[in-house]
Amino acid sequence: MEKMRLLKLSVPVTLAAGLLVGCGGAEEDAAAESTSSVSGEVLIDGSSTVQPIMEAVTYMYNQENPEVETVLNTSGTGGGFERFTAGETDFSNASRPIAEDEVALAEENGIDYTELELAYDGLSVVMSQQNDFVDELSVEQLREIFLADSDAETWSDINPEWPDEEIVIFSPGHDSGTFDYFNEVILEEQPMKDGENVTLSEDDNTLVTGIQGNPYAIGYFGYAYYEANQDSLKVLGISQDGGEAVKPNPETIQDGTYTPLSRPLFTYVNNEALKNKPQVADFTIFTLENAGEAASQVGYVALPEEEYQKQLDEVKSIIGEEAE
Amino acid sequence: MAANDTASATKLIKGRVVLNQLLKFLFLLATMVGLIFLVLLIYRVLDQGLGFLDVNFLTSFPAPFPEEAGLLAGIMGSIFLMLLVAPIAVILGVSTALYLEEYAPKNRFTRFIQVNVQNLAGVPSIVFGLLGLTFFVYLFSLGYTLIAGALTMSLLILPVIVVASQEAIRSIPNHLREASIGMGASKWQTIWTIVLPAAIPGILTGSILALSRAIGETAPLIVVGAATTIYSIPDSLLSKYTAMPIQIYSWTVRPQEEWQYVAGAGIIVLLVILLAMNAVAVWIRNKFQHRF
């Protein structure tokens, strides 16, 4: 709060100069070369789910290294990989692992990369606080509720003791990494229901609003959206293979007992950039050292410390390769 | 007979008066609907956003904490975008309108262009984003830079400016042109001294509406690679940049409630800048209107 950056008066002047120079050339050469610290650009794109973590990391990094310009875009996991596999970006944030066709594209373009896990998120299956009959569901019941070829139309079709009311579904849109993950582990790539009782939205807050007011509505999204709306939403425990139902919370998400809906969030780094751009190497190390703190700040769950350390060693050995 | 006539006439008049009153009420209602929602919107935004609107908000870069987040990068990005878009789009748009109205022969080809321009005004903005991505970002190798964003936005609002300028130019009475030509002025002299000054209020109204649309657009800018989080202000045409609506959007999708308030503060700033732009246009318009 107290640190006020005053608007630099020189800015319009420099822009005018830029206009005169026109489309001259690469501006990064113009940056003053300092011997002690790194400079240049770090280009990041990808998932909107991972964006808050990366924003927190770039914020901390920028405080320490104002010479480096971090540019964080949000084209979505798929859009991010499109640019990443074409070699346009240094980092690609992803809420799912890189897909086969994207791996093939990267190979075709000669892009070598390293996958880094930044944090965990627990996909939370939620209903309204007004709902008084469901507290937990099994993976099989979830499939019955969400799959297109199941006959379950009403809650009583799932469990005869439950009311004869239609099931209303709120789900992230089919382009989102969140849907991709749910699709993979719960639906097993079979088509999801659609129709008048299904609402898809790319904005998780829309899903929250829809579920809040309807006792017969069910939906899922990242844990942070449940955490921020605990007073109006209730989170369901999920059981697998006849086991005990587990509710998501930072502990169960981190130690993996909340399964199968606990998912890692990734960023992918371009190895070429890691070796040849000092600012990318520096930023990667900084990211792994601070991702845990950044994740908890914005409502995600940090990995166990040793996981970051393991990745840090791996990254450092890749950076070291170039020195020899 | 006569009594009968008067009676039916009175009845008729009464019917018209009632109809008139009814329609007046309906039109008032229609006006109120728009107005009420505008007031509600402004109330909600002010209510949510004012608490987060302070000097710090205007002079800070993005931050992971709602109390520290600022819109500086977005404000400067949007202003620089507009500084580029306004001259590019207005010069191109007015030139096109002048050609179509004053020079082009009235044939099938001109009509073909005409219809296309009008249809372009209705094309979804995301399509212009893809166009910008293909041409400016890749084909012209401008990359994800301020100038690529500005050119894309210029294309987006060009059709609206062309159509509005054409209307304005067309509404200048022909006898003004004829008088000028009769005095021996060339076509260009007539346009420069007679047609354009008279048409400026209409052209400006159209241009400012178009620019207002551009400053609020998000989708095409995301496609041509405007950043979400950036800690610098553009300092050249090839700078990376962000814009106000992109930052506001990225705040509204956050889970924590405070971000909605930060977004509210951002919307207030956007509205104020929009109003300022409109005010400048009204001022210029009035200045020119006095001449005639």
What does the pLDDT look like over B118-176, one tens digit per residue?
898 889 999 999 999 999 999 999 999 999 999 999 999 999 999 999 999 999 999 99
Q: Is A310's pLDDT higher than 70?
A: yes
- Report how far residue A85's alpha carbon sits from residue A89's, in angstroms, rounded to the nearest whole number: 8
Return the CATH class of domain A3-121+263-323. Answer: alpha beta
Q: Which two tokens stand for residue A241?
A: 């293979």
Could you say which of A51, A69, A228 has the minimum Cβ distance to residue B255?
A: A228
- Contact B230/A69, CB-based, under 8 Å? yes
Q: Which of A82, A9, A4 is nearest to A47 (CA)?
A: A82
Q: How far apart are the first and last CA of chain B?
A: 57
State pLDDT tens for residues A95-116. 989 999 999 999 999 999 999 9
Q: What is the pTM of this model?
A: 0.82
- Contact B236/A227, CB-based, under 8 Å? no
With pLDDT > 70 as the criterion, what percentage of chain B qualifies? 98
A44: helix, strand or coil: strand
A182 compared with A7, residue with greater pLDDT: A182
- ipTM given for this complex: 0.80
Work out how many CB contacts closer than 8 A connect A with B.
116
Q: How far is CA B176 from CA B182, B186, B194, B198, B199, in A?
A: 10, 13, 7, 10, 12
Q: Which residue of A has its CA nearest to B239?
A: A27
| Contact residues on chain A for B144, CB-CB shorter than 8 A | 73
Return the CATH class of domain B57-291. Answer: mainly alpha
- Contact A73/B228, CB-based, under 8 Å? yes
Residue B1's pLDDT is: 52
Which sequence spans correspond to the domains of chain A? 3-121+263-323, 124-260
- φ, ψ at A42 (rounded to 5°): -120, 115
Q: How far apart are the first and last CA of chain A?
A: 46
Q: Is A27's pLDDT higher than 50?
A: no
Q: Is A9's pLDDT higher than 60?
A: no
- Contact A52/B64, CB-based, under 8 Å? yes
Contacts of B29 (CB under 8 A, 6+ apart): none
State pLDDT tens for residues A268-308. 999 999 999 999 999 999 999 999 999 998 889 999 999 99
C-beta of residue A220 within 8 angstroms of C-beta of residue A171: yes
C-beta of residue B142 within 8 angstroms of C-beta of residue B136: yes
DSSP string, B188-235: HHHIIIIIHHHHHHHHHHHHHHHHHHHHH--HHHHHTT--SEESS---
| Contact residues on chain B for A224, CB-CB shorter than 8 A | 255-256
With pLDDT > 90 as the criterion, what percentage of chain A qualifies? 74
- Report how far residue B16's alpha carbon sits from residue B36's, in angstroms, rounded to the nearest whole number: 30
Q: How far is CA A318 from CA A112, A274, A276, A292, in A?
A: 11, 8, 11, 22
A110: helix, strand or coil: coil
Residue A151's pLDDT is: 87
- Contact A23/B254, CB-based, under 8 Å? no
Over residues B192-215, mean pLDDT: 90
Count, in order, helices (H) and strands (E) of chain A.
13, 12
Query: How far is CA A167 from its chain centroid?
Result: 28
- The angle formed by the CA atoms of residues A210, B124 and A102, to the nearest 5 degrees, is 75
Q: How far is CA A191 from CA A186, B136, B216, in A?
A: 11, 38, 37
Q: Which of A172, A184, A170, A173 is nearest to A263 (CA)?
A: A184
C-beta of residue A177 within 8 angstroms of C-beta of residue A47: yes
Q: Is A166's pLDDT higher than 60?
A: yes
DSSP string, B81-104: HHHHHHHHHHHHHHHHHHIIIIIS
- φ, ψ at A318 (rounded to 5°): -70, -45
Residue B205's pLDDT is: 86
Q: Which of A249, A251, A224 is nearest to A236 (CA)?
A: A249
Q: Which residue of A has its CA nearest to B241?
A: A71
- Of A20, A23, A91, which to mutate for an interface test with B (greatest number of B Cβ within 10 Å)? A23
Q: How far does the CA of residue B232 sit from the closest CA of chain A (Å)?
A: 7
Q: Which residue of A has its CA nearest to B233?
A: A11
- Contact A15/B235, CB-based, under 8 Å? yes
pLDDT band at B291 (very low <50, low <70, confident <90, very high): low
State pLDDT tens for residues A45-87. 999 889 999 999 999 999 999 999 999 999 888 889 999 999 9
Beta bridge partners of A264: A120
Could you tell me where the DSSP H helices lie in chain B? Answer: 2-49, 55-59, 72-98, 108-120, 125-132, 146-170, 174-182, 187-190, 196-216, 219-223, 244-252, 258-289
Residue B290's pLDDT is: 54
pLDDT band at B286 (very low <50, low <70, confident <90, very high): confident
With pLDDT > 70 as the criterion, what percentage of chain A qualifies? 88
Q: Which residue has the tokens 């951002």?
A: B266
C-beta of residue A224 within 8 angstroms of C-beta of residue A299: yes
A106: helix, strand or coil: helix
Residue A3's pLDDT is: 40
Q: How far does the CA of residue A253 sit from the closest CA of chain B (Å)?
A: 18
Over residues B92-111, mean pLDDT: 92
Burial of B5 (0-12, 13-18, 19+ CB in 10 A): exposed
Q: Which residue of A has its CA nearest to B236?
A: A18
Could you say which of A14, A55, A227 has the minimum Cβ distance to residue B229?
A: A55
- Contact B226/A294, CB-based, under 8 Å? no
CATH for A124-260 is 3.40.190.10
Contacts of B245 (CB under 8 A, 6+ apart): B78, B215, B216, B217, B218, B221, B270
pLDDT band at A249 (very low <50, low <70, confident <90, very high): very high
Residue B5's pLDDT is: 75
- Contact B226/A75, CB-based, under 8 Å? no
Average pLDDT, chain A: 87
Is the peptide bond prior to A172 cis by the omega test (within 30 degrees of 0)?
no
Can A3-121+263-323 and A124-260 be said to share one CATH topology? Answer: yes
Residue A88: CA count within 13 A, CB half-sphere: 20
